[in-house]
Structures are given as C-alpha cells and as structure tokens.
C-alpha cells in the first residue's frame, strides 16, 4: 500500500481528518500496541477511537484507493458518531472488536447478524461479507466458511469484496475433508467465482490482488492433484506478474511483485529467472533484508548452496523481529542440504535462542516447539 495507495494525491483531503500511524509489527518498539491490538494478517487496517482506546473498525487486508476512502469514511462515522447508525452498523463494529480480541467464532456471529439486519444497499455489506468468511476460516470452521461464501458471493459479485469472499471460500473448500460429499461442488463453484472475479475488468483489482487470486486457483488445483491444471495457471500467473512489474513506475512498485514472483517461479521450477530481478532489488534497497532472503531461496532451489548461504548472511545482518527466525531456519536447511550437519544444528540452536529472547508479543511458542522438535532429529 505504501508503494501504490498512500502516495495517491486524492487521499490528501483526508490528511487532517485522522491521526495517521504506521506500525511495523516486526519492530520491538511496537509491542505495547500489539498487546492491545494483535495483528494476525498483514497488512491490517484499523480505525481507533482514542477516547475509548478501542477498535472502531478493523479490516484484515490491504485496500485500493477507492476501498481505503470507504474504510476511512466508515471509520470516521463510527468514531465521531456522524450519520445515521443502523443495527447493522452497530453489529459490524461489535464484530470488529471481537475479531480484534481474537474471538473469531463470536465475531462471525456478529458479522452474520449485521448482514441479516442490513438495510437495502447497506454501504458495509461487502466488508461484512469478507470479514465473516475470513472470521470463519480463522475459527477453522471450514464448513460454514464454504456455506457463507457460496451464499454471499452472488451478493457481492462484481465488487472488490468478491475477490476475498471467493478466494477465502475456495481455500476453505479445499480444506473440507476429502470424503465430504459437498467438497467437489464447492471447489468447482468457488473456482468459477474466483476466476470470474479475476476476469471482471469492471472491478478495480490491484496487481497483487490478482496475483493472490491466481495463487488461490493454483493451490486449489494442487489440492485436487491436477498437475496439468496447476501448471497452466502458474504460466498465466507469471505472465500477469511480469506484465504488472513491467508497468511499475518506481522501484518500490516493482518490488511489490518480488515475493509473488518468487512463489510463482519456484512453483514453476524456474528459480534462475529470479536472480536478475532480486539482484536489482538488492541494489535498489540495500538496507532491506528481503532481496537477499529471497535470493537465498532461489539459489537453494538451484542447488547453489554457497551463494544461498552468503545471501542468508546478508539477510541476517539486515533483519530484525520474528522474521529473522525464518532466515535462520532457511540457513540451517541449506547447511543440511550441503551435507554440513554440524552447522545446520548450530544454526537452528541459534534460531531457538533468538526466538526465545523476543518480547512476548512477538514470541511464538508453536514456532519454538517446532524448532526444538526438529533439533531432536538432527
């Protein structure tokens, strides 16, 4: 959003209507904020009522400029109490607070209430539909997630919200048990919905939104073990990414597609294609750990372990926060692939020490336990 959205001049009229806060969740300076407003999806957009220090609106995901304008208008109305408030407005605000408090099942009930009570042309229907489906996936209620996605998709079809309703619903459908009689039809219907949204030129989807939809379609084909179908989609996905990156006007905009291209080219087993673009990003952003971290993945996939290790060293020197654990783990894996078991073990031990020393808001017991379990096998 920094590369494409917050730079948009049309947002300047909102400048004096909010206090604007950017929170890097990896930065340990933000632990007090994270204790109060836990973040589980990146980015997350919040509007906070400063008097109550509570969430007035929380949206899991990025936004295009028109979407952001709507979120800002809704958030301001919720805090300032301007405009007529309906039962649905109250219910969605309650649902957002429950979602913030990590109560996704209760949040889903409140989002459903908001939708059920919605007046005709309720301005927040799309956001409520997206948030409902998303809360159900967070609550691991795949069955209801699929049901709601199938019911809500026709209501949000042709709008930006259709993308998340269809794609998140598709993810839930693939996670239904393989012997569930609804699974095949649900996947087919939500694949069609995802594809339809991707191809609807009237929806102002961003390039990375479209990439996310391709990734979702690829994952569904992989789940169905349809390798030919998955491959055909990966080829289209890469074509989209190259076209979008080619249109970028700044290095920041081009770099938005780096991580997408890493996923797509690694899935296509063409890691060598990544080297020039990632080297360019490393030159453009010499303090950023992402380009060398991604280069290490490409070199690892190419079997060039020494180059991969050198890249992890540069990434570790620039990284901070929980993300650094992933770089250590990757480095440990590269040592193991190279046959250097001792260094692999030492690096994983270093990762565990680092993870245990993080502030509690950034520490993940699950991640630490998984590393310790792996260490026992080394």
Partner 1 sequence: MRKLLLTLLLAATALPALSLPFIENDYAKALARAKAKNLPIFVDAWAPW
**Is residue 52 close enough to count as binding partner 1 by CB under 8 A?**
no
Q: How far lies 211's CA from each of 173, 193, 266, 298, in Å?
A: 20, 15, 15, 19
Residues 223-262 that bind partner 1 (CB under 8 A): 250-253, 255-256, 258-260
CA atoms of 8 and 204, how far apart (whole Å):
15
**Is residue 167 close enough to count as binding partner 1 by CB under 8 A?**
yes
Helix (H) or strand (E) holding 364: none
The tokens describing 44, both together, are 């997350």
The residue (of 120 and 360) whose beta carbon lies closer to partner 1 is 360
Residues 325-364 that bind partner 1 (CB under 8 A): none
Q: Is 46 helix (H, G, I), strand (E, B) or coil?
A: strand
Closest CA to 241 of 213, 207, 204: 207
Q: How far is the CB of 76 from partner 1 (least distance, A)?
A: 6
Q: Helix 207-223 to helix 183-199 angle, to the nearest 10 degrees?
A: 160
**Is residue 312 close enough to count as binding partner 1 by CB under 8 A?**
no
Q: How far is the CB of 344 from partner 1 (least distance, A)?
A: 24
CA atoms of 133 and 112, how far apart (whole Å):
10
Radius of gyration of the chain (CA): 22
**Is residue 317 close enough to count as binding partner 1 by CB under 8 A?**
no
Q: What are phi and psi of 122, to 5 degrees?
A: -60, 130
From candidates 15, 84, 228, 357, binder to partner 1 by CB under 8 A = 15
Window of 89-97, 98-106, 180-188, 283-291 that interacts with partner 1 by CB under 8 A: 283-291
**Is residue 178 close enough to count as binding partner 1 by CB under 8 A?**
no
The residue (of 77 and 344) whose beta carbon lies closer to partner 1 is 77
The residue (of 140 and 341) whose beta carbon lies closer to partner 1 is 140
Q: How far is the CB of 326 from partner 1 (least distance, A)?
A: 9
Q: How far is CA 166 from the centre of its chain?
A: 15
Residues 104-133 that bind partner 1 (CB under 8 A): none
CA atoms of 258 and 250, how far apart (whole Å):
13
| DSSP character string of 252-275 | HHHHHTHHHHHHHHHHTT-GGGHH
**Is residue 20 close enough to count as binding partner 1 by CB under 8 A?**
yes
From candidates 103, 231, 323, 346, binder to partner 1 by CB under 8 A = 323
Window of 19-27, 154-162, 339-347, 348-356 that interacts with partner 1 by CB under 8 A: 19-27
From candidates 153, 265, 289, 335, binder to partner 1 by CB under 8 A = 289
The residue (of 258 and 333) whose beta carbon lies closer to partner 1 is 258
């Amino acid at each position: 959003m920094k590369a494409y959205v917050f730079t948009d001049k049309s947002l300047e009229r909102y400048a004096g209507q909010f206090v604007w806060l950017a929170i890097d969740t990896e930065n340990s300076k933000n632990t007090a904020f994270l204790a109060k407003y836990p973040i589980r999806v990146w980015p997350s957009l919040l509007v906070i009522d400063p008097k109550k220090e509570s969430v007035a609106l929380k949206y899991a995901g990025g936004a295009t400029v028109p979407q952001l304008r709507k979120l800002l208008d809704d958030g301001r109305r919720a805090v300032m109490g301007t405009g007529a408030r309906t039962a649905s407005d109250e219910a969605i605000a309650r649902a957002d607070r429950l979602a913030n408090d990590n109560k996704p099942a209760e949040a889903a009930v409140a989002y459903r209430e908001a939708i059920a009570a919605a007046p005709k042309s309720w301005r927040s229907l799309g956001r409520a539909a997206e948030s409902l489906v998303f809360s159900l996936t967070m609550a691991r209620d795949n069955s209801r997630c699929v049901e709601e996605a199938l019911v809500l998709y026709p209501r949000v079809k042709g709008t930006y919200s259709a993308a998340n309703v269809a794609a998140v619903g598709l993810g839930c459908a693939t996670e239904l048990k393989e012997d569930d009689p609804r699974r095949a039809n649900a996947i087919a219907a939500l694949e069609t919905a995802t594809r339809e949204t991707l191809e609807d030129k009237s929806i102002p989807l961003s390039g990375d939104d479209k990439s996310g939809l391709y990734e979702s379609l690829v994952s569904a084909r992989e789940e169905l073990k349809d390798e030919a179908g998955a491959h055909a989609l990966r080829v289209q996905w890469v074509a989209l990414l190259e076209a979008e990156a080619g249109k970028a006007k700044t290095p920041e905009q081009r770099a938005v597609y780096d991580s997408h291209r890493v996923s797509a080219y690694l899935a296509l087993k063409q890691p060598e294609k990544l080297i020039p673009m990632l080297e360019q990003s490393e030159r453009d952003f010499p303090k950023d750990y992402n380009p060398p971290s991604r280069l290490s993945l490409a070199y690892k996939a190419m079997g060039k372990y020494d180059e991969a290790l050198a890249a992890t060293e540069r990434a570790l020197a620039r990284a901070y926060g929980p993300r650094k654990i992933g770089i250590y783990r990757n480095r440990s894996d590269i040592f193991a692939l190279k046959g250097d078991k001792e260094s692999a073990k030492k690096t994983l031990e270093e990762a565990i020490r680092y993870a245990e020393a993080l502030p509690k808001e950034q520490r993940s017991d699950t991640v630490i336990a998984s590393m310790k379990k792996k260490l026992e096998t080394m």
